[in-house]
Amino acid sequence: MIGDFLFSIAVLLNGLVLIYKPWYWLDPVLSLLIVLFILKNCWTILKEATAVLMNATPKNVDLKNIHHHIEKIQGVQNAHYLHAWNVSASSIAFSCHVVVHDQQLSNTEKLAKKIRLDLMHLFHIDHPVLQFETTECGNGNLLCELFCNNRD
């Protein structure tokens, strides 16, 4: 808004100068300066928007630190397939596979709550998606995954 005001003042002053002085070069120079100012201000917005649209890991998210923290939590044997991305400029989503001992899914709710609260308070992640796996099938080995997915 202030930029628009300043651009209007620059155009008015340019018109006044051209009335009294034949400085015809001033108009294109002012136009180029205005264009450069707009591009400079748009570049930051374009970079942020592109990062959000491409699901890039936010700069302030350290996946190695998060990975280390999750694996230190009692009951977690392993964590893998970690991914974080911006849902918006102020909201961070996170997904992770969490390997636990073979147990009923309902038994993981307390652990899930602990991980979610830690992610929110320590890492400012407000949209975590956790997928729990058992040790039998959660080691990431392709043959193990195929075996576990195909048995009936």
End-to-end, the C-alpha distance of the chain in Å comes to 65
Residue 129's domain comprises 63-150
Over residues 20-39, mean pLDDT? 89
Residues 32 and 79 reside in one and the same domain: no
Computed over every residue of the chain, the mean pLDDT equals: 86
Contact criterion met (CB below 8 Å) for 81 and 113: no
Over the stretch 41-86, which tens digit does the pLDDT of each residue have?
899 888 888 888 888 889 889 999 999 999 999 999 999 999 999 9
* Prediction pTM value: 0.65
Residues 140 and 98 reside in one and the same domain: yes
pLDDT at 144 over 80: no
How high is the pLDDT of residue 146? Answer: 60
Q: If DSSP codes are grouped into helix, strand and coil, which group holds residue 139?
A: coil
CATH number for 90: 3.30.70.1350
Return the higher-pLDDT residue of 7 and 122.
Answer: 122
How high is the pLDDT of residue 138? Answer: 46
Dihedral of CA 55/59/64/70: which sign? Answer: negative
Residues 67 and 49 reside in one and the same domain: no
Question: What is the identity of the amino acid at 27?
Answer: D
For residue 140, what pLDDT band results from cuts at 50, 70 and 90? low
* 47 φ, ψ (degrees, to nearest 5): -65, -45
Return the higher-pLDDT residue of 16 and 120.
Answer: 120
Query: Is 58 part of any domain?
Result: no
Q: How many domains does the chain have?
A: 2
